[in-house]
Amino acid sequence: MELRHLHYFAAVAEELHFGKAAQKLGMTQPPLSQQIQRLEEELGVQLFRRTKRRVELTEAGQAFLPEVRQALAKVEQAVTAARRAGRGEIGRLAVGFVGSASYEILPAMIRRFHECFPDVELVLRELTTSQQVRALHEGRIHVGLLRPPVSDGTLMIESFLTEPLIAVLPETHALAGQPAVSLQELARERFITFPRHLGPGLYDQIISICQQAGFSPEITQEAVQMQTILGLVATGIGIALIPASARNLRSSGVAYSELQRVQSGVEMALAWRKDNASPTLRAFLGMVRNSVEEG
């Protein structure tokens, strides 16, 4: 039995007229009659009573029809699901992200993706850049939002955002409250930073701009979480340079200032495995690229 035989049967059962059913199916009547006869022979029952005046379903045909309709509906659902999956409209996507992405970048990205692809299940995991690289290799995430550089020939790395660094100071600091400060004014301060081995991009950028300003920063403390860094700054043991979006993380006891005459910023990039051909991943990447183009 072939799927087309079920379509033929359903058409005749709905029209109760072989000529009308054949026209609906885009075929002539003799081949349709032959196919119905073959179906009946295969089933070993008569599905239709045929007279010169009318066609009607037999008891076997009446029992067969709802099952056929259900089977055809299931096939249509399967086709629809396959096509939606092929367009990345359904499925599951695990997204890794560095903590600083969660204050502005990630919420806007997730909100837009849900609007465009409401039936995709998103799984979010906060991981450092180095942890994301491992998670991508192990298949625990499909795409990451991380801080370059990343040297890995098996991954695609695509920068999509550069944001400035800002200074975060204890609210009791002499410079607190100033809208902007220069790096030279911070040269004698103790710095709190993110560990280099977990995120070399941000760490190296901080060291680089300080050296360009004529000094090497004194690193007094390292912390993995941005909230911890801000908490340490609030205690007065040091200052920190952080991505501008992190100022959206409300924290008491600190003040934010822009950096004067600092042109470079820190990048945020997408990372995914080169061999990942997932339509859902392609849909996510396309959405991010469109968002960047639209500003």
Cα–Cα distance for residue pair 154/14, rounded to 1 Å: 56
Query: What kind of fold does domain 165-264 have according to CATH?
Result: D-Maltodextrin-Binding Protein; domain 2 (3.40.190)
CA-CA distance, 241 to 168, in Å (whole number)? 6
Which CATH code fits 3-86?
Answer: 1.10.10.10
What is the model's pLDDT at position 249? 78
Reduced 3-state DSSP string for 231-267? HHHHHCCCEEEEEHHHHHCCCCCEEEEEECCCCCCEE
Q: What is the pLDDT of residue 89?
A: 77
Cα–Cα distance for residue pair 168/249, rounded to 1 Å: 12
Question: 69: which 2 tokens?
Answer: 């309709």
Please give the share of the chain, as a percent, with pLDDT higher than 90: 73
As a whole number of angstroms, the distance between CA 239 and CA 60 comes to 83
Six-digit token string for 291 = 């968002």
Residue 239: its pLDDT value, please?
Answer: 97
Query: Residue 14, SS3?
Result: helix
Q: Which ranges in the chain are annotated with CATH 3.40.190.10?
A: 91-161+267-294, 165-264
- Alpha-helical segments (H) within the chain: 3-15, 18-25, 29-43, 59-86, 105-116, 129-138, 200-212, 226-235, 279-294
CATH fourth-level superfamily of 91-161+267-294: Periplasmic binding protein-like II (3.40.190.10)
Position 99 scores a pLDDT of 85
CB neighbours of 116 closer than 8 A, spacing ≥ 6? 283, 287
Q: Where in the chain is the domain with CATH 1.10.10.10?
A: 3-86
Residues of the chain with pLDDT under 50: none
What local confidence, expressed as pLDDT, does residue 295 receive?
64
pTM for this entry: 0.72
